[in-house]
Structure 1
Amino acid sequence: MLVELWTRDVRNLQETRIRFGNELNLIVGANGSGKTSLLEACHVLALGRSFRTHRLARVARSGFGAFSVAGELWDSIHGRSWAGVEWKGQRRSRLNGQWLEGHWEIARRMPLLSVHAGSFELLAGAPEERRRLLDWGSFYLHADFVQQWMTWRRAHEQRNAALRQQDTRTAARFEAIAADAGTRLTEMRAAVVAQLRHHLADAASCGLRQGLAGAIELTFRQGWPENETLSDAYARSRSSDLERGFGQSGPQKADLEIRVGGRLIREASRGEQKRVLNVLVIAQGLLLVGIGPGGAAPLLLLDDAVAEMDEAGLGGLMDAIAVLQWQCLATTVDLKWALRTASRYRGAEMFHVKQGTLLRSHVPGD
């Protein structure tokens, strides 16, 4: 849970220090006021990257060469933690005063899910987006995911380099390493898909089924023929790989096929896609909570919550979040909707953003 957030020189936000509520936090403001920048700061703190840009330099205020985000976290395993991210030409992450080599430990303590304009790429974009979903789940489900992913990635890149140089002996050496780690990585991804299938029914039943043309179906494509081992796939395609200078089989080719009512999700309407996104994000959260003693409820970010959603669909999503008692930061330009929603859910907090300044607002009925 994100207890408190500090930001400095993040886009158009004024220097911010704000404490959030444990459950629903509604953030209201005009377009361009800084609402999405606030969610972006939370995303950078949790995952070490932005959902709006691949270049962290663009997160800094215009004309500034640096920014920082920090927060007080709480979870049932570690209690209170203090995390921070600084960028000045490169990213540096800190946890409880100690600089980290990567960002993995903060991500474990601050599991985060988000729905924003770019989330539609998960459904209709390149396979890379869906592999990111599978690896997100693998990271939380399997303690050795990072080690296996890095081992496979290094071996895969070394094999490709050897293929480009027509060095078959070196390619074969890294092929064996890539096959072992890649097989384990694929087993982890398959386990995530199985868990998501298990939780989809529960997620859809949380008031989110209305408006869907049928059941959501997930099919995992591992990146090589199902009747082959990865070692066999490497051996079969070796000559062709040498000609092209890169491997054509393996985890880098994996994909997740998503259908609703038997149709590919990219053929569905935008409104139906938004509903599927909402069901998927609830299923992901249920996966996190169901891990066991180390499982933790996610922080859920909803950017422009009312966009492309009818009243029933949006109400179902808010009801599900309230029942599950997850912490949620939801932005909107619709003050009337925010007031109705804040008065409906006990414990809801409300904030206004104006010209980059975030202020707590009165909740009707308090």
Structure 2
Amino acid sequence: MEILELRLANVRNVEFAELMPAPGISEFVGENGAGKTSVLESVFMLSHGRSFRSVKRESLIQFGADSLDVFARLRGAAGERRLGLSRRRGDWAARVDGREVASLAELLGEIAVVCFEPGSHALISGASEERRHFVDWALFHVEPEYMEVSRRYRRALKQRNTLLRSGRAVAELESWDVELARSGVLLDNWRDRYLRELLPELQQLCLLLLPELGAPDLRYSRGWLPELDLLDALRERRIRDLERGHTSTGPHRADWKIGFELAPEREHLSRGQEKLCALAFLLAQAALFSRQRGEWPVLCLDDLASELDAGHQRRVLSWLLQTGAQVMITGTAALDQNGFEASSYQMFHVERGRVLAY
């Protein structure tokens, strides 16, 4: 998967930029606040429908402008696609090959972007929602029925919670419990299988980035007692859920955690090790995506030099160069270009919102 052309308008402090990223590594260099991260945010938005920096979507629009626009010409296994994303009047508008699509998911399914950025350590140390999203994003791209099953689960969960808060008769909950269990078991099976398939990729990346911690292991918690099936678990918790007014068991409470041979719990990791662990997960996800889909996602690494020391930078870049993936990196200073092929490397200078190719 490769972005051939990228245009962005009114994204934070970038009024307009048009560029052709390299098929290998594109490096965006400039001072803090110059607009480097805005380029990566634009690419990320095409794949996730949001920024990795802020949940406030309106803050992405340049001050004084009433909209933002991102366009990319993409080449992937299915051929070339033209993708467009705009935000105006408080909502997104998405286009694929010039055709406006009714669902943002149709656009997001066309491009996969994996991003490591200063907040990525939340994947290890943050709330369980971060870890569920990490898995569910991958399932969106590899399980054709994921969107429909996920929609059914969310709808059943919403209806069940409404009934719980209303205090209605327990009998009315039965039909929603059945639907919640039917769709929830599918989600759980997919998540469990995905994490088991991810583990070999993760073990290789942890050996590269965190060899001092020993072998890693993933522990998955499905969100209900393992000795019960989901429908029985929902029934067993009904009285308690009625008292509390929400559903306390199910895949929406799922989580996973990583442990190492020499650091069994997350609390044993330093902040630097949490970052490296998060990076290992993201690179492993990209590698598994490549194995499952036959093409690499686009990889974005924001402010790499401030997140990794020189030794880890060299290991990561060496690994990336072997993959053939398209990679976009930002930093305040240029990387050591030893090992970069001129034909697959491009440097861009970013200054006061202007993006210029060297």
TM-score range, shorter chain: over 0.9
The answer to whether residue 14 in structure 2 is matched with residue 13 in structure 1 is yes
Q: 2:322 and 2:349 mapped to 1: Cα distance?
A: 25
Alpha-carbon offset, residue 266 of structure 1: 4.3
Match of 1:349 in 2: 346
1:242-268 deviations in Å (ceiling 9; x for gaps): 111111100111001122333323431
Q: 2:303 and 2:115 mapped to 1: Cα distance?
A: 11
For the residue of structure 2 that corresponds to 1:15, the secondary structure is strand
Q: Out of 253-262 and 56-65, give the one that drifted further.
A: 253-262
Q: 1:104 and 1:302 mapped to 2: Cα distance?
A: 24
Alpha-carbon offset, residue 352 of structure 1: 0.6
For the residue of structure 2 that corresponds to 1:247, the secondary structure is coil
The answer to whether residue 165 in structure 2 is matched with residue 194 in structure 1 is no
Alpha-carbon offset, residue 166 of structure 1: 1.6
Pair 1:240–1:214, CA change in 2 (3 A): same
Match of 2:323 in 1: 324
Q: 1:33 and 1:324 mapped to 2: Cα distance?
A: 30
Match of 1:222 in 2: 222
Equivalent residues of 1:31, 1:333 under 8 A apart: yes
Q: 1:241 and 1:174 mapped to 2: Cα distance?
A: 14
Alpha-carbon offset, residue 216 of structure 1: 2.2
Match of 1:178 in 2: 180
Q: 2:324 and 2:200 mapped to 1: Cα distance?
A: 20
Match of 1:247 in 2: 247
For the residue of structure 1 that corresponds to 2:156, the secondary structure is helix
Pair 1:137–1:318, CA change in 2 (3 A): same
Q: 2:229 and 2:125 mapped to 1: Cα distance?
A: 29
Equivalent residues of 2:210, 2:277 under 8 A apart: no
Amino acid at match of 1:354: E
Q: 2:233 and 2:101 mapped to 1: Cα distance?
A: 38
Alpha-carbon offset, residue 37 of structure 1: 1.0
Equivalent residues of 1:160, 1:171 under 8 A apart: no
Equivalent residues of 1:8, 1:16 under 8 A apart: yes
Equivalent residues of 2:6, 2:70 under 8 A apart: yes
Equivalent residues of 1:159, 1:174 under 8 A apart: yes
The answer to whether residue 272 in structure 2 is matched with residue 275 in structure 1 is no
Amino acid at match of 2:87: W
Equivalent residues of 1:3, 1:74 under 8 A apart: yes
For the residue of structure 2 that corresponds to 1:14, the secondary structure is strand
Q: Out of 145-154 and 306-315, give the one that drifted further.
A: 306-315
Alpha-carbon offset, residue 38 of structure 1: 1.0
Match of 2:143 in 1: 142
The answer to whether residue 232 in structure 2 is matched with residue 237 in structure 1 is no
Match of 1:314 in 2: 313
Q: 2:323 and 2:339 mapped to 1: Cα distance?
A: 15
Match of 2:35 in 1: 34
For the residue of structure 2 that corresponds to 1:274, the secondary structure is helix
Q: Out of 13-22 and 273-282, give the one that drifted further.
A: 273-282
Q: 2:204 and 2:214 mapped to 1: Cα distance?
A: 15
Match of 2:126 in 1: 125
Amino acid at match of 2:143: H
For the residue of structure 2 that corresponds to 1:224, the secondary structure is coil
Amino acid at match of 1:171: L
The answer to whether residue 264 in structure 2 is matched with residue 297 in structure 1 is no
Amino acid at match of 1:186: D
Unaligned runs of 5+ in 2: none
The answer to whether residue 56 in structure 2 is matched with residue 50 in structure 1 is no
Q: 1:107 and 1:276 mapped to 2: Cα distance?
A: 26
Amino acid at match of 2:319: A
For the residue of structure 1 that corresponds to 2:6, the secondary structure is strand
Q: 2:243 and 2:59 mapped to 1: Cα distance?
A: 39
Equivalent residues of 2:165, 2:245 under 8 A apart: yes
Pair 1:103–1:216, CA change in 2 (3 A): farther
Q: 1:360 and 1:208 mapped to 2: Cα distance?
A: 32
Equivalent residues of 2:118, 2:307 under 8 A apart: no
1:161-180 deviations in Å (ceiling 9; x for gaps): 01111222332211110110
1:175-220 deviations in Å (ceiling 9; x for gaps): 1101100010111110111111122233345x4344x422222111
Match of 1:364 in 2: none
Amino acid at match of 2:142: L
Amino acid at match of 2:132: R
> Percent same amino acid at aligned positions?
28
For the residue of structure 2 that corresponds to 1:162, the secondary structure is helix
Equivalent residues of 2:4, 2:20 under 8 A apart: yes
TM-score (norm 1): 0.93
Q: Out of 4-13 and 262-271, give the one that drifted further.
A: 262-271
Q: Out of 231-240 and 97-106, give the one that drifted further.
A: 97-106
Runs of 4+ in 1 over 4 A off after TM superposition: none
Amino acid at match of 2:43: C
TM-score (norm 2): 0.95
For the residue of structure 1 that corresponds to 2:32, the secondary structure is coil
